[in-house]
Copies of this chain bind each other. A is one copy, B any other.
């Protein structure tokens, strides 16, 4: 399955130091002599080694793929090639998203290792959301990010040949797509040894979800969309653990799940993880802060995120439509403008519906499936955790089974506080 190339070996602080010392550009960025560099492994994700290397002048972050799923151990092998696709995604979208991704300094195809900008004082957004911190520019940044990354890799922006060639390239990332297909769209709706949930508190609710044929059909429709709708190069895992934030800056990281898929999948990942954060807030409340105001802030961010995405995507479509979908030369007459504008708005409506559906799928898999989120996992009291999770599940179920109730963001904002668990 995974064929490890001869030069590959998992790095440790010593072998990393030796290897980086052979890279003149990196040495210059770091400054000072290699023996003096501070190197520490900080990876807390599911799949990779992550090192922070600090020299006398600067610092870099080094991310190396491991040939297995770190969270599961060597018994679950995983292709190293994901590092290649992560780098390929950065190469493709970086020219379009400006400073919203880290700078990549070097990619090593034998070590499956990316040397990139060390972001400081950034932290993982998920940690910031758990701590109740507000990031005034975050939602705008992320809306802009998805709009630009997806528009410029779609058939709206450029000749379809570019997309076909890139699709052929990213088709090789099938091992990571397999994870999404199984862990997001299938396992959570079946009995599977990879699943777990807060038990026994959620047992009844989980059994009811797995017996809800309408819910499963809706989830399966989004699973089919995930495989069929090759709209743009998507990040593929754009949750709040894939965003690093400071007070003023936001950066998207970890695009190793990248493939050509539906734009709503990236929108829904970010949106759904904001909703998960909303539902987890009671678990992080204290006597001093009941998190009620913070919850309002989160809901406001979901609106800003969507509005920012929609506005920017439409602006790009008006200004930079040089692709084969809705080709500009078909709509050159002044009289075409109104119909074209209506068609664009209708397309954005389909992305809105996709965002909500994919968000719901992402919410469910984080509560019933293999990989959970620390927003909930860190809530020690299982009854409280279960109550938070049950609210999120109810909202996800409503989004999937009653999509006609959600025509705009105000419908979402109205429904979220209603969908809280009030006991069996």
Contacts and interface: CB of A to CB of B under 8 A. Distances in A.
A12 interface: no
Interface string A363-394: 00000000000000000000000000000000
A186 B333 contact: no
A186 B330 contact: yes
A406 interface: no
Main secondary structure of the interface of A (DSSP, over half): helix
A357 B365 CA distance: 36
A160 B189 contact: no
B227 A340 contact: no
A136 B152 CA distance: 50
Contact of A227 (B171, B216, B228, B324): B324
A303 interface: no
A167 interface: yes
A160 B181 CA distance: 9
Interface stretch (A106-114, A141-149, A218-226, A413-421): A218-226
**A231, A330, A336: most-surrounded residue (chain B CB, <10 A):** A330
State the oligomeric state as a number of copies: 2
A172 B177 contact: no
Nearest to A182: B324
A214 B339 contact: yes
Contacts of A10: none
Given A227-B324, A325-B224, A213 B340 contact: yes
Nearest to A224: B325
B177 A160 contact: yes
Contacts of A171: 164-165, 167-168, 171
A213 B325 contact: no
Contact of A168 (B172, B181, B327, B340): B172
A178 interface: yes
A315 interface: no
Contact of A190 (B177, B181, B329, B343): B329
Interface string A189-222: 1100000000000000000000101101101110
A155 B174 CA distance: 14
Contact of A330 (B189, B330, B332): B189
Interface string A219-252: 1110110011111000000000000000000000
A223 B324 contact: yes
B227 A229 contact: no
A338 interface: yes
A335 B336 CA distance: 50
Interface in A349-372: none
A229 B330 CA distance: 21
Contact of A335 (B165, B177, B211, B219): B211
A284 interface: no
Contact of A338 (B189, B213, B338): B213
Contacts of A335: 211, 213
17 contacts: A155-B227, A160-B174, A161-B174, A164-B171, A165-B174, A168-B168, A186-B329, A186-B330, A211-B333, A213-B335, A213-B339, A214-B339, A217-B339, A220-B331, A221-B343, A223-B327, A224-B326
Given A186-B329, A217-B339, A227-B324, 19 more contacts: A160-B174, A160-B177, A160-B178, A163-B227, A165-B171, A186-B330, A189-B330, A190-B332, A211-B335, A213-B335, A213-B338, A216-B339, A217-B340, A217-B342, A219-B330, A220-B326, A223-B324, A223-B326, A230-B230
